[in-house]
Amino acid sequence: MKKMLFILSVLVVASMVLAACGPSGPAECADELGCAEYGPDDPIRIASALVITGPDAQLGLDSQHGVEIAIAMRGDVAGHSVELQAEDDGCNAEGGQAAGQKIVSDPSIVAVVGTSCSGAGVPMSKVISEAGYVMVSPSNTAPSLTDPAQAFNPGYLRTAHNDKVQGAAMAKFAYEVLGLKTAAAIHDGDPYTEGLANAFRESFEGMGGKVVAFTAVSKGDTDMKPVLTAVAASEGGAPEFLFFPVFTAECAFLAKQTKEVSGLENTIAAAADGCFSAAAAEAIGEAGNGMYFSGPDLSFSGDTYVTFKQQYNTLFGSDPISVFHAHAFDATNMIFDCIESVGVTGADGSLSVGRAAMRTCLYATSGFQGITGTLTCNQYGDCADPKISVSILENSEYKRIWP
Amino acid sequence: MQRRLQNINYLDFVLWFIRVSIIVFVAWGTIATLLDNPYSADVWVNFTVLGLAQGSMYALIAIGYTLVYGVLFMINFAHGEFFMSGIMTATVFIAGPLSASGYLNNHPVISLLLILVVSMITSVGVAILTERVAYRPLRKAPRLVPLITALGASTFLQYTFRGLFGSEVKPFPQVEALSGKISFLGTEILQTQMVVIIATVIMLVGLYLFVMRTKTGKAIRAVAEDKDVAALMGIDVDRTIAITFALGASMAGAAGVLYALVFRQVHFYMGFLPGLKAFTAAVLGGIGSIPGAAVGGLFLGIFESVGPPLFLDGLNVPAYHQLKDVITFTLLVLVLIFRPQGIVGERLAEKKA
Amino acid sequence: MSNEKKFTLRNAINQGLLAGLITTLISTVGMVELFSQRQLIAGVMTMAQLFIFLIPALISFQTARKAPKNSILLFSAVTSFFASLPVLVLILLASTFGLRRFLINVSPSLIETLTFGQGPLVGSLILVLATTAVGVAAAFVDQMDEKIRKPILAGLMWTILVGTFSEILQERLRAFFGIGFTNLIIKSKALQPVAALIFLVVVTAISYFWQQRGDSIKKGLASQSATQRRNMTYAQRIAFFVLLLILPLLLGSYLSEVTNNVGIYVLMGLGLNIVVGFAGLLDLGYVAFFAIGAYVMAILTSEGFLGVAQTSFWLALPVSVITAVIAGILLGTPVLRMRGDYLAIVTLGFGEIIRIMANSDLLKPYIGGAQGVLQIPKPSFFGTSLIQPGQLYYVVLAGVLLAWFVSTRLSNSRLGRQWMAMREDEDVAEAMGINLVNTKLLAFAIGAGFSGLSGAIFASKLTSIFPHSFNLLISINVLSLIIVGGMGSLPGVVVGSLILVGLPELLREFAEFRPWMYGALLIVMMLAKPEGFWPSAIQKRELHADEESPPVEEVAAAD
């Protein structure tokens, strides 16, 4: 051990001396935040930081697959192939920070797709921004992330819907389109679900509806019947509309068990984009007939999404396992578009992408035709198509019915 | 409580204070709820039946903890994964294809038996392998070491199955013969829940008889009592321990099928929480005791279901169902302060605990 | 159990099948495919190929050691031949039935990797031949003279390690020597063949000479006088502290971040070590105090709407620690009379209660519920905000050194002895006049204090905290690391943290297989070193005493 220490310290001193006389990097880049530079044959490198371990892994893996397909379908970007550096955000703050530090220590990474979870997004957005990088999240929905008074950092964008927008849309749909006056909302203590349920409650009450129950289950719960029984027996009577914007596992439990609880037979169930996927439809099964889902309308992009799904099946052996693959696909393509528009190709085929230019370009994204809609970014990085659609599930098929 | 500690008065005072404050709090909440009367009697019965069904599953899983603890004095944290592995495998290889071909609904009994057998065999196989690889070599290691390998095995198994079958939620088909409700005690309950409760009772009785009446059962009890002496009596200790693991895992495998029948979906992470709850149930009932595991499981299930509305509804706690585990664990502390050996457990020799 | 048992061909076949099954498992869970494009040594070997051949090679090596002297090559060949069979079955099944319906990761590209892109028939043949060849090669290495074998193995091992950690090395090399030089050695994570060869030769050579000369150097050291040796240790200590101080300069921002994370776990580990390692109280809810420390820090310093005081980090730090200490006493009291596993489950419950309460809507108005507490400032030191991981490192280091100092002093103090007496036998300890109540409460309180300190630093390092960061897995991880390191041993805590926190962080490349590797690692490490990697002197002595007493349970071990 002691010898190792000695050797280590010798190495250390030697390397410092060498570092001092080593050649300094090329200085052609004129960007204030520096550039990502690629030699003539080097691939462009982007990173992803999504939750690929733990109980929410399917959410992040699905998004990562979206990025991988975007790379595969795009082919070369600005004359270079693209390489993905896939990181894990662990769905928690420390994971996001560590992944962020890892990414910013690599000067060859030009942009990041991530994070999956808002909790990981908050610290990572700080790390990424301070280092002059840029990130586009496919599935962060917490309002605080794009709120300049809270956790917004320049360098952060997202293609996912802000909870405020989606919650309000669902409330509007329930109150105005379906004409329902009483509702209940259930979340599971995840920042995403809690934020969305709260946004729904505020909007629904703001329009004049009555939220008879606002309650929560815990992540990992399986038996939702006690909660649902309590909701059915709430003081204002059983709600006409039940909104549970949770992820696939809990969502499927709630959907199935709602049908089994006396008093909720006539209640219309609804969930949000966390449970809006082919895999979720399969998990919910027959119980999902007539259930509503808010989220992006993936059918409207036409052929692109069909090709996307085929690719997904060949590469990963199943239908998409969650919903945010589409957002990730769009995020990746937005990044590619910007690389192509701001990247400077040298005479020898090398490429230099300015980081500040990259940011400016991404924030200026306008009318981008993605598979989740037409994306236009505002100055705080909210890029999602403001039109939220609501789909109904019939025989495991989603049909868009609104707007 | 006969043990003399210095400062005994101070400590007793604190313990009494804790007991009294928990009880006062519970009573206050209960009275407030009952005065408020938000739910009809039917709903309360419903809560109880729901709790019983959930508790049955806890009981079946808790058996595994208790059996293993009985012979090895070790918390087998991987037990929740035995539960998961069986039903995951059965769902992917048996239930899925059977349902797709329509065989499941035409021949529900054969299909369910097949699913049960595959689930139990897989669970037992995984358990025996785990025991052989991760626990047996560590018989003589310090007590916490097998605990760590158990934690390692738990993670390893979770991610093995995730690697094998994927990370998404797998639907378990609805068995039409078991869908719908039946009338029970004046209230409607789901057929699947009835199946769960009945199946649990049968299995628990069967297991109890096995352990109490058969020669193998006797060997298990002997090993639990004293390994060295058991070995001198000609009992193959390693084999008996493996059988104990198998027995616990078979119960977990069966619990997996019941779980799938009721909740109709499986996931690689599904073993973690039920495992934790079942462990809690085993301790609550008195770890090491088979009736204890059963009682602890049912008790826990009912408390999880009835507790939050009964204790917290009247106090206007927002989203009180979130706090059900707080109730569970507070209850656990209360029980262990009053009865350190659990609800029905025997007092363990001091050295063993 | 007995080494004299004859090792037959049948054993060799079993060993081979076992190796094959492990390789098949690694393939079916998807790890081989994930690394099919990852070059370990550019153009020579991919990481996937390493996974395919590593286990058969290791097991063949084992077989070679046990096999009868005259037929070693045969045994190894048989073992490695059979090791390829399960993989062959997988290839066969996958290419005829399309197993992917059931096993999601058995994809065409996996089969392509396993058959080296040569199609099922030719590929399988190559696989069988290659695996057998690798096995025979392993046997050859085993046959070599120890003086040559060890250096070669060391060279191979280090080269593979460098290839595995190439990502990190690449980043460091680039920082020190610039991109041009780095590309000569490692380019897009792949070790360049020439560099790999040079490295292999150099390491082998060094190892060889070390072996030749090592003994004489050691003897030379041993013959030094006491004064000389003391001077040496002083010099070493000073060098060590200097190294600690300049570490962030060498590590760069990412590795400093990893070091900080390790440091935070070391802090927690030192605290839990007092509770579990010294006092023998099994605490599975240790994360509770970590959470309390973090939340107190967050609420006191946050500049967001949940912040109540906007105090400075340094002011909030003692408050966090004191709050955690009080919580430790509060939890400690009801569980004073519980023992062993009852204590474990109750403390586990306490940890869960804290997390659930933090996450609940009930406390949302005060501590943010699921949305957490945001806008926590990083600590500042005389006006400089410690933003970079390399700067925060010193805060973590100071915390660890403090905890280390307290721990060392305690372990040799009267209180430390009391804890150990209590750990060995409560009744005897009490009979000796030890006040169990105070002794236990002090253990809980001090342990909680360290954890609270760790939590406070954690909160301000992250600048935002969410209840999800305080789950049971943290408690489990901390417990695991002190056991892996060696219970009751302070250096063990550091070693454990490096292995269980640092290593997974450095192996980020394994992506979704990190927890899988972590689980396997825990089992393998505990099997290999049940006493931990750096056991305390006392524990070593105890285990040694164990070995001397005649084994009792051997009687039953008929397998």
Please give the pLDDT value at position C553: 41
- Give the strand pairing for A268-271 and C39-41: unpaired
**If 0-12 CB within 10 Å is exposed, 13-18 middle and 19+ buried, where does residue B182 land?**
exposed
Q: What is the residue whose two structure tokens read 């290691």?
A: B141
- Give the phi and the psi of residue C487 in degrees, each rounded to 5: -65, 135
Whether the pLDDT of residue C262 is over 60: the answer is: yes
In 3D, which of C523, C282, C517, C494 has the Cα closest to residue B148?
C523
User: pLDDT: is A227 or C539 the higher one?
Assistant: A227
User: pLDDT: is B250 or C340 the higher one?
Assistant: B250
Side chain identity, residue C308: V
Tens-digit pLDDT profile for residues C456-482: 999 999 989 999 889 898 999 999 999
Query: Do the chains contact at B138 and C530, CB–CB below 8 Å?
Result: yes
Nearest to C250 among A12, A54, A189 (CB): A12
User: pLDDT: is C543 or B130 the higher one?
Assistant: B130
Average model confidence (pLDDT) across chain B: 87
Query: Do the chains contact at A22 and C356, CB–CB below 8 Å?
Result: no
The count of other CB atoms within 10 Å of the CB of residue B220 is 23
Whether the pLDDT of residue C8 is over 60: the answer is: yes
Which has the minimum average pLDDT: B50-54, B111-115, C42-46, C541-545?
A: C541-545
Please give the pLDDT value at position C468: 87
Average model confidence (pLDDT) across chain A: 86
Q: What are the structure tokens assigned to C215, written together?
A: 């003994």
Q: Does A218 touch chain B (CB under 8 A)?
A: yes
Rounded CA-CA distance A68/A311 in Å is: 10
Q: What are the structure tokens assigned to B59, written together?
A: 């009981």
Q: Does C529 touch chain A (CB under 8 A)?
A: no
Please give the pLDDT value at position B155: 93
- Check: CB of residue A334 under 8 Å from CB of residue A70: no
Nearest to A285 among B39, B174, B322 (CB): B174
Rounded CA-CA distance A153/A146 in Å is: 8
Nearest to B92 among C102, C519, C557 (CB): C102
Any idea where the domains of chain A sit in the sequence?
A: 35-161+302-375, 164-295
Tens-digit pLDDT profile for residues A159-174: 998 888 899 999 999 9
Please give the pLDDT value at position A301: 64
Q: Identify the structural domains of chain B with CATH numbers, from first to last.
A: 8-338 (1.10.3470)
Mutation for testing the C interface, residue in B98, B118, B145, B351 having most C CBs under 10 Å: B145
User: What is the rounded average pLDDT of the residues B78-105?
Assistant: 92
Query: Do the chains contact at C243 and A16, CB–CB below 8 Å?
Result: no
User: Which of residues 333 through 362 in chain C touch A, CB cutoff 8 A?
Assistant: 356, 359-361
Q: How far is CA C213 from CA A4, C144, C218, C229, C458, in A?
A: 16, 20, 9, 20, 47
Give every CB contact of residue A212 below 8 A, 6+ residues apart in sequence.
A182, A183, A184, A231, A234, A235, A236, A237, A238, A239
The CATH class for the domain spanning C253-547 reads: mainly alpha
Give every CB contact of residue C360 below 8 A, 6+ residues apart in sequence.
A189, A216, B319, B322, B323, C369
Q: What is the DSSP letter of B176?
A: G
Rounded CA-CA distance A38/B317 in Å is: 58
C40 alpha carbon, distance to own chain's centre: 22
Q: What is the residue whose two structure tokens read 């310090």?
A: B142
Q: What are the structure tokens assigned to B211, written together?
A: 């352990």
Please give the pLDDT value at position B1: 43
Tens-digit pLDDT profile for residues A228-244: 988 988 888 889 999 99
Whether the pLDDT of residue C86 is over 70: the answer is: yes
Whether the pLDDT of residue C514 is over 80: the answer is: yes
Among chain C residues, the shortest Cα distance to A58 is held by C512
Please give the pLDDT value at position C5: 65
Query: Do the chains contact at A285 and B272, CB–CB below 8 Å?
Result: no
The alpha carbon of residue A251 is apart from the nearest alpha carbon of chain C, in Å, by 18
Nearest to B227 among C25, C335, C553 (CB): C553
- Looking from the CA of A289 toward its CB, the CA atoms found within 13 Å total 6
Q: What is the residue whose two structure tokens read 């390998």?
A: B149
Q: How confident is the model at residue C543 (pLDDT cuts 50, 70, 90)?
A: low
Q: How confident is the model at residue A197 (pLDDT cuts 50, 70, 90)?
A: very high
Chains that touch C (3 or more CB pairs under 8 A): A, B
Please give the pLDDT value at position A26: 43
Which residues from chain C sit within 8 angstroms of residue A5, using beta carbons? 236, 239-240, 243
Query: Do the chains contact at C345 and B157, CB–CB below 8 Å?
Result: no
Q: How confident is the model at residue C551 (pLDDT cuts 50, 70, 90)?
A: very low
Q: What is the DSSP letter of C377?
A: P
Please give the pLDDT value at position C369: 87
Mutation for testing the A interface, residue in C107, C462, C473 having most A CBs under 10 Å: C462
Among chain B residues, the shortest Cα distance to C329 is held by B14
Any idea where the domains of chain C sit in the sequence?
A: 9-215, 253-547
Which residues from chain A sit within 8 angstroms of residue B195, using beta carbons? none
Mutation for testing the B interface, residue in A91, A186, A260, A313 having most B CBs under 10 Å: A260
Provide the residue count of chain B: 353
Among chain B residues, the shortest Cα distance to C551 is held by B140
Query: Do the chains contact at A226 and B269, CB–CB below 8 Å?
Result: no
Side chain identity, residue C485: G
Which residues from chain A sit within 8 angstroms of residue C240, using beta carbons? 5
Query: Do the chains contact at A88 and C304, CB–CB below 8 Å?
Result: no
Whether the pLDDT of residue C558 is over 70: the answer is: no
Side chain identity, residue B190: L
Nearest to A130 among C359, C372, C387 (CB): C387
Q: Does C87 touch chain A (CB under 8 A)?
A: no
Q: How much of chain C, in percent, has pLDDT values that exceed 70? A: 94
- Check: CB of residue A368 under 8 Å from CB of residue A375: yes
Query: Do the chains contact at C480 and B145, CB–CB below 8 Å?
Result: no
Q: What is the residue whose two structure tokens read 């709903």?
A: B43
Rounded CA-CA distance A196/A185 in Å is: 9
Average model confidence (pLDDT) across chain C: 87
Give every CB contact of residue A284 below 8 A, 6+ residues apart in sequence.
A251, A252, A255, A256, A275, A291, A393, B171
Q: What are the structure tokens assigned to A362, written together?
A: 């991404």
Q: Does C239 touch chain A (CB under 8 A)?
A: yes
Q: Give one DSSP letter per residue of C52-103, joined into a string.
A: HHHHHHHHHHHHHHHS-GGGHHHHHHHHHHHHHHHHHHHHHHHHHH-GGGT-
Nearest to B46 among A223, A229, A283 (CB): A229
Whether the pLDDT of residue A113 is over 70: the answer is: yes
Q: Does B206 touch chain A (CB under 8 A)?
A: no
Query: Do the chains contact at B333 and C438, CB–CB below 8 Å?
Result: no
Tens-digit pLDDT profile for residues C21-36: 999 999 999 888 888 8
How many interchain CB pairs under 8 A, A with B? 116
Q: How confident is the model at residue C555 (pLDDT cuts 50, 70, 90)?
A: very low
Q: How confident is the model at residue A28 (pLDDT cuts 50, 70, 90)?
A: low
The CATH class for the domain spanning A35-161+302-375 reads: alpha beta
The CATH class for the domain spanning A164-295 reads: alpha beta
**Which residues, in sequence order, are bridge partners of residue B266?**
B170
In 3D, which of A239, A270, A113, A244 has the Cα closest to residue A190?
A244
Q: Does B171 touch chain A (CB under 8 A)?
A: yes
Beta strands of chain B (E only): which ranges?
A: 170-171, 181-184, 187-190, 265-266
CA dihedral C183, C189, C194, C196 (to 10 degrees): 130
Which has the minimum average pLDDT: B149-153, C108-112, C242-246, C547-551?
A: C547-551
Which residues from chain C sit within 8 angstroms of residue B163, using beta carbons? 28-31, 105, 513, 516
Nearest to B160 among C29, C276, C522 (CB): C29
Whether the pLDDT of residue A27 is over 50: the answer is: no
The count of other CB atoms within 10 Å of the CB of residue C517 is 17
The count of other CB atoms within 10 Å of the CB of residue B351 is 10
Please give the pLDDT value at position B248: 92
For chain C, first and last CA: distance in Å? 9
Whether the pLDDT of residue C335 is over 90: the answer is: no
Whether the pLDDT of residue B353 is over 50: the answer is: no
**Longest CA pairwise span in chain B (Å):** 71
Whether the pLDDT of residue C557 is over 60: the answer is: no
User: What is the rounded average pLDDT of the residues A330-343?
Assistant: 94
Which residues from chain A sit within 8 angstroms of residue C171, using beta carbons? 105-106
Rounded CA-CA distance B55/B284 in Å is: 12
Mutation for testing the B interface, residue in C342, C441, C548 having most B CBs under 10 Å: C342
Whether the pLDDT of residue C539 is over 90: the answer is: no
Q: How confident is the model at residue B8 (pLDDT cuts 50, 70, 90)?
A: low
User: What is the rounded average pLDDT of the residues A1-15?
Assistant: 50
User: What is the rounded average pLDDT of the residues B108-124?
Assistant: 94
Angle at A332 between CA A330 and CA A336, to 5 degrees: 115
User: pLDDT: is C120 or A2 the higher one?
Assistant: C120
**If 0-12 CB within 10 Å is exposed, 13-18 middle and 19+ buried, where does residue A301 land?**
buried
Please give the pLDDT value at position C26: 92
Tens-digit pLDDT profile for residues B146-183: 989 999 999 999 999 999 998 888 889 888 888 878 87
- Check: CB of residue A298 under 8 Å from CB of residue A39: no
The count of other CB atoms within 10 Å of the CB of residue A345 is 15
Please give the pLDDT value at position A24: 40
Whether the pLDDT of residue A126 is over 60: the answer is: yes
Interface confidence (ipTM) of the complex: 0.90
Whether the pLDDT of residue A21 is over 50: the answer is: no
Query: Do the chains contact at C356 and A218, CB–CB below 8 Å?
Result: yes
Q: What are the structure tokens assigned to A345, written together?
A: 């190709």
Query: Do the chains contact at B332 and C526, CB–CB below 8 Å?
Result: no
Q: Where are the alpha helices (DSSP H) in B73-143?
A: 79-90, 96-101, 103-106, 108-130
Q: Do domains A35-161+302-375 and A164-295 have the same CATH topology?
A: yes
Please give the pLDDT value at position B2: 46
In 3D, which of C65, C29, C225, C220 has the Cα closest to residue C141?
C65
Tens-digit pLDDT profile for residues A254-265: 998 998 888 888
